Amino acid sequence: MNKRYFIRLSYKGTNYHGWQIQPNAITVQEVLNKALSTILNCEINVVGCGRTDTGVHASDFYAHFDVDEQVTFDCDKLTFRLNRFLPHDIAIKQTFQVREEAHTRFDATARTYHYFITKEKNPFRLESHWKVAYELDVQKMNEAAKILFEFEDFTSFSKLHTDVKTNNCKIYQAEWKDNGDELVFTVKADRFLRNMVRAIVGTLVEVGRGKMNLDDFRQVIESKNRSNAGSSVPGHGLFLATIDYPDTIRDL
C-alpha cells in the first residue's frame, strides 16, 4: 500500500525546458524526481499540477508523489533536505501527506497566472518581464479582457494539435494593472489550454497598440481559429501564481 504526499514549490523557469520531462532537455520534473529519489533511496516519479513551457516561472506550484507505506520520513525534514539538495532556482515551501486519491492536477479548482510587461530597459527584469518599445492603451486592453467572460470555448487561444477533450474554460478574473514602470495581467480560470495565457496576452497587446478593436477581439474568439489571434508573447514574462484546492485536500 502506498502513501501520497503533496509538495508545494516555486521555481524560476529560465534554465529549464518547462516542467514536464522530455528527452535531451533539462526540466523541473526531472530535477525534482532525482532529488527525491536520492534522498528517499527509492525511485520517485512526481506528478505536477500542470505543465509550464520553456522559460515560464511558477511562484506557486504543487506536485505529488507516492511511496510505500514502509518508507517513513518527517515532512519538515524532507523539505529542508530537498532545499539543500536542489539548485538555487527551485525552492520547496512545504511537504504534507494527503489521502491516497488526492491529485495535484485533477483536484485543483482554479489557477491564476500573472504576465509582466516592462516599459523600460531594466537588467533586473530581463528574465521576468517582456520589454515592449511601444505605448499600450491599458484601458482598451481591460475593456477587451472583459469580453473573455462572455465565452467558454477558447480554441482561438489554444496551441494547435493539442490532444484535449474540450477547449472550454471558465474564466473568473482577467484584468490589467498599470504600476507605472510595468504592466501586470492577471487571469484566473478553472483550467487553461496549452499556450492559452500567452496567446491571450499577445492578442490583448494588439488591442492596446490599436491594431485590433473590441469587435475584432470578440470575433477572434468566435472564430475558434488560432491563426486569427495575436502572436504568443515570450514565456519569460509568465508566472503561475496560485493553485486553488478544496479545503478538504489535506484531510487524510
> Which tens digit of pLDDT belongs to each residue from 117-155?
999 999 999 999 999 999 999 999 999 999 999 999 999
Helix segments in the chain, DSSP class H: 28-40, 75-85, 138-147, 196-208, 214-223
- pLDDT surpassing 80 at residue 252: no
pLDDT (0 to 100) of residue 143: 99
As a whole number of angstroms, the distance between CA 23 and CA 6 comes to 25
3-state helix, strand, coil in the chain (%, to 5): 30, 30, 40
CA proximity to 128, closest of 57, 52, 231: 57
As a whole number of angstroms, the distance between CA 153 and CA 169 comes to 6
- pLDDT surpassing 70 at residue 162: no
pLDDT in tens, 189-225: 999 999 999 999 999 999 999 999 999 999 999 999 9
- Per the annotation, binding residues for substrate are 113
Domains of the chain: 2-106 (3.30.70.580), 113-241 (3.30.70.660)
List the end-to-end C-alpha distance of the chain, in Å, as a whole number: 15
Cell of 69: 507505506
pLDDT (0 to 100) of residue 161: 64
- Per the annotation, binding residues are 113
pLDDT in tens, 56-108: 999 999 999 999 999 999 999 999 999 999 999 999 999 999 999 999 999 99
* Mean predicted lDDT score pLDDT of the chain: 96
As a whole number of angstroms, the distance between CA 69 and CA 206 comes to 54
Non-local (6+) Cβ contacts of 62 within 8 A are 6, 7, 8, 9, 48, 49, 104, 108, 243, 245
The catalytic residues are: 53
pLDDT (0 to 100) of residue 251: 81
